[in-house]
Amino acid sequence: MAAVRCIDICKTYLQGDQEIKALDHLSIEIEAGGFVCLSSPSGGGKTTLLNAIGGLDKPDSGEVWIEDQRIDTMSKGELADLRLRKIGFVFQAYNLIPVLTARENVEFVMQVQGLSPAMRRERSTELLNEVGLAGLENRRPAQMSGGQQQRVAVARAIASRPTLVLADEPTANLDSKTSDGLMDLFEELNTHHKTTFVIATHDQRVMAHVPRLVRMLDGRIVDDIEQNAA
């Protein structure tokens, strides 16, 4: 069973008077445990696709499936539930809730899920260690660097043991060294936890990293290549 299946999806935006086809009869399938990079120039539709897969946005037509569930017809509440249990997100910026500490941010989703405090604590400690932030558990986002914040976001994204992690330009605000570290972390998690990763980016270094690279232009897939990991 594929982790993600999009069948003939379309999405049109109005920008000013101009109609923009963000997704144009696009179909794609991503296998479970895959590590896929979506790339396109700005406005090429990668973020729209990512949002459609994450249930943050609904396509105008077509079907979106996560495992065996069709999500484009789900209600807001069902979508919220789906994201809570199956999907982890890492965004470009503003990834963290400012009033919560690093640990609390990681625990946030687990807490909403209703996990016990002991379990949450154990898992957040483990995850923060794994992303290399041991000792910074009680810092608030404002007291951390951009790279550290993204690592907390990654820890949070996988905290609820999602089957799918969606990352939108996760390295955009990071220097090259930090972004390499972040990609290494993604890869490690992908192999270690068998989590499916879908990353939208136009960062060349990121593209070079991934086994499958999907290039998009004007809402269509123009190139879908399997490549050997660097």
Partner 1 sequence: MNTLRVLLMLAWRNLWRNHRRTFIMLAAISVGVWAMIFMTALTQGMVNEMVKDGVSALPGHVQVHHPNYRDDPNINNLIPMADTELSAKFAAAGFEQWASRIKVPAVITSERESRGVTLLGIDPNRERDLTFVDYEDIDGRFLEDEADKGVVIGRKLAETLDTDVGKRIVIMSQDPKNDIADRGFRVVGLFGANMQSLEETYVFAGKQTIQKLLSVGDHVTELVAMGDDYRNVEPVYEKVVKLVDDSVVVNRWFELDSYLGTMLRVMDGFVLIWVVVIFLALSFGLVNTLVMAVFERVREIGLMLALGMKPSSILGQIIIESMLLLVIGLAIGNVLAVASIAPLNSGIDISIVAEGMEMMGSASVLYPQLRMEDVILANVVVLILGFFASLSPAWRASRFQPIEAITRVD
By CB under 8 A, name the binding residues for partner 1: 47, 51, 54, 56-57, 76-77, 80-85, 87, 89, 91, 94-100, 108-109, 111-112, 114, 156
Minimal distance, residue 66 CB to partner 1, in Å: 13
Minimal distance, residue 194 CB to partner 1, in Å: 21
Minimal distance, residue 141 CB to partner 1, in Å: 10
Q: Which is nearer to partner 1, 95 or 196 (CB)?
A: 95
Minimal distance, residue 23 CB to partner 1, in Å: 13
The secondary structure of the chain, three-state, reads: CEEEEEEEEEEEEEECCEEEEEEEEEEEEEECCCEEEEECCCCCCHHHHHHHHCCCCCCCEEEEEECCEECCCCCHHHHHHHHHHHEEEECCCCCCCCCCCHHHHHHHHHHHHCCCHHHHHHHHHHHHHHCCCCCCCCCCHHHCCHHHHHHHHHHHHHHCCCCEEEEECCCCCCCHHHHHHHHHHHHHHHHHHCCEEEEEECCHHHHHHCCEEEEEECCEEEEEEECCCC
Query: 99: exposed, middle or buried (C-beta count within 10 Å: 0-12, 13-18, 19+)?
Result: exposed
Length of the chain: 230
- List the helix and strand counts (H, then E) for the chain: 7, 10
Minimal distance, residue 226 CB to partner 1, in Å: 30
Minimal distance, residue 93 CB to partner 1, in Å: 9
Q: Which is nearer to partner 1, 80 or 208 (CB)?
A: 80
Q: Which is nearer to partner 1, 121 or 212 (CB)?
A: 121
Q: Which is nearer to partner 1, 166 or 185 (CB)?
A: 166
Q: Which is nearer to partner 1, 78 or 126 (CB)?
A: 78
Q: Which is nearer to partner 1, 196 or 213 (CB)?
A: 196
